[in-house]
Structure 1
Amino acid sequence: MSISIHPDTTLGAVKLKISDLTQSLRFYTEVVGLRILEKTDASAALTADGKTALVLLEQIPDAIVAPERRRTTGLYHYALLLPNRKELGIVLKRLIAHRIPLGQADHLVSEALYISDPDNNGIEIYADRPRSEWKRDANGDYEMATDPVDWEGLLQEAGEEPITKGLPPETIMGHVHLHTVGIEESRAFYTGLLGFDVVGDYKQMRALFVSAGGYHHHLGLNIWAGIGAPAPSPRSTGLDYYTIVYPDSGTLSAALERLLAAGIAVDQQDGEAYVTDPSSVRIKLTTKLVHQN
């Protein structure tokens, strides 16, 4: 029997392994525009609204900085979703002022800017177009593209807003995009067990997009690091885990039961759980948007 994940399921914080906390905090506060919510000597929680963590940083000993072009499974990028186009224009102004190398794309469903942090963790910062403008093809996949962004239009939207203005409090974790060992392995786990709905079966680009509630994608799953790519070294900078947030304990419990029945190891701690997908990517499953790390 096929299952479909609860439509109110969302994503929460990503936790990153980094090489230098001071360096990363300077980048994430001055360039990205997040604020420090909590900090220790080797870790920090970063927020946009002053209450909810979006990015967790942990400095690891003897870290190996991941190469810019990865050949392992794990993070391709995580994506911070802004509430509107004006806020994306302000981010663009700030990136230009800091002379940050960046990529860009008009995906039809959204407009996106791409950067990397000091440890080559990929970051997308984007704003959605209205859902009424999203289109699906004959197969039911969302029509997406990589057209050029209207730079001038974004900068005009930003107006005279100062670049020191941080990310708006409405900023959320929009999606996470992963390098995987294989599309079919990922499909079986993310749709067959967790119940995410396929919204983009993009064979030509060797990627699968899945989501909850009809979103254009909460997870991107690709094989761009190579089919059967190995897991990264434990000492490598990169993704420690990302978070799936269920709307209530009942939906979380049902997901955990399916995982356990399928022989997936589940580490349960205080109403939360950690599992590992077929690509050695660790996932935190919870019902709470909190800043625990």
Structure 2
Amino acid sequence: MDLTLGPVSLVVRDLEPMMDFYVKDTGLRMKRIDDHYVELHPSEESSEPLLILKHDPRAEKTPTDAAGLYHYAILLPSRKSLAAAYLSLGNAGVVFDGYADHLVSEALYLTDPEGNGIEIYADRPRSEWQFDEDGKVQMATQPLDIDSLLAEVSGIPKNGLNAFEDGAKIGHVHLKVTDIARSVDFYQQLLWMDVMSYWGSAAFLSVAGYHHHIGMNTWESLGGHALKKGWTGLEHFTVKIPQADVDDLAAKLADSPIVHIQDSRRLFVSDPDGIELLIRAI
């Protein structure tokens, strides 16, 4: 099955500091729909946002031990793009939480003003990925070779670099869940996903052999609270699949209590932890 991810929607309590961060610091392009709804695009030409900010000044901060968003991840089209993002964000004064070489990808990590985790990454060629005899992809967390990364943009003036470009997209989401086995089973059954890797109390799932479209862990949230409406952070994430698969899923979930909104092209579904995903046609 063909599957990609679309916009991540966040509930924010203080909209102006969030817009300052995402527009002034990271360089995303803002399309403000109204006073409470903002789209953030990688470029002026992009037709689909990376992020949607929904302003709710009464929202309460999501408890640390609750299910929700661990981080969302913006996939860049090349290693050169990742190097440009590193320099552009650094020049804007963005403080990185860390950097990592995951074998299948190289990544930068940061956090927005309301505590939402962000990964910005570029994949290594699939021909370089390693798999074990069970088909599980080999991933790790190793130091990122910053000097090697910056060699990709040597000689390019710093003021000519942008953190994002039109090829940037949501590559995966990493969720905080309260029960790994239950969540793995849910996403396998719902979206026909394969488990690509386990790291202790974390699991990584995908379709079509990608290293992961959805990650999940219980590092802080084991046995914790389900995600509730009215909390800051993740409102929903978007999964895009072919129309025929949307139709099959709609039939499969007919009258199911986990479906909240349904029409011919989309389903809003809640997972066992109250995390909502919008499933829509590509």
Q: Which of 48, 53, 56 matches 2:52?
A: 56
**Structure 2: how far apart are the matches of 1:270 and 1:196?**
23
Q: How does 1:107-146 map to 2 (within 5 A)?
A: 107-146=102-141
- Partner residue of 1:212? 207
Task: Give the aligned length.
Answer: 277
Q: Deviations over 1:179-206 (max 9, x none)?
A: 112111112211023211211133x2x1
Deviates more, 1:223-232 or 1:126-135: 223-232
TM-score for the superposition, normalised by structure 2: 0.91
Q: Alignment identity in percent?
A: 39
Q: Report the AA paired with residue 251 of structure 2.
A: E
For each residue in 1:186-243, what CA deviation from the matched residue of structure 2 results, as whole angstroms up to 9, or x when unmatched? 12211023211211133x2x11111111111000011112322202453321000000
Give the counterpart letter for 2:89 in structure 1.
L
**Aligned equivalent of 1:177:** 174
User: Residue 28 and residue 83 in structure 1: after superposition, are their counterparts in 2 closer, same or farther (change >3 A)?
Assistant: same
Q: Secondary structure at the match of 1:201?
A: strand
- The Cα RMSD (Å) is 1.9
Deviation at 1:261, TM superposition (A): 7.2
Once residues 254 and 204 of structure 2 are traced to their aligned partners in structure 1, the CA distance between those partners, rounded to angstroms, is 24
The answer to which of 193-202 and 215-224 deviates more is: 193-202
Q: Is 1:260 aligned with 2:254?
A: yes
Is it true that 1:201 corresponds to 2:195 in the alignment?
Answer: no
* Structure 1, 105-114 or 13-22: larger mean CA deviation: 13-22
Change beyond 3 A, Cα 1:174–1:27: same
Give the conservation status (yes or no) of the 8 Å contact 1:66–1:120: no
Name the CA distance, whole Å, in 2 between partners of 1:47 and 1:134. 30
> 2:229 & 2:141 partners in 1: Cα distance?
33
- 1:1-293 to structure 2, matched below 5 A, reads 6=1, 8-49=2-43, 50-66=46-62, 70-97=64-91, 98-159=93-154, 160-162=156-158, 165-202=162-199, 204=200, 206-247=201-242, 249-260=243-254, 264-269=258-263, 271-288=265-282
Consecutive unaligned residues in structure 1, runs of 5 or more? 1-5, 289-293
CA distance in 1, matches of 2:88, 2:34: 27
Q: Counterpart of 2:39 in structure 1: which amino acid?
A: A
Cα shift readout 1:265-284 (whole Å, capped 9, x = no counterpart):
34214621101001110010
Using the size of structure 1 for normalisation, the TM-score is: 0.88
The 2-side partners of 1:162 and 1:231 are apart by 44
How far has the Cα of 1:105 moved from its partner? 0.8
- Contact 1:209 1:221 survives alignment (8 Å): yes
Equivalent residues of 1:193, 1:259 under 8 A apart: no
Equivalent position amino acid for 1:135 in 2: Q
- The answer as to whether partners of 2:269 and 2:277 remain within 8 angstroms in 1 is yes
- Aligned residue for 1:260, secondary structure, equals coil
* Structure 2: gaps (5+ residues): none
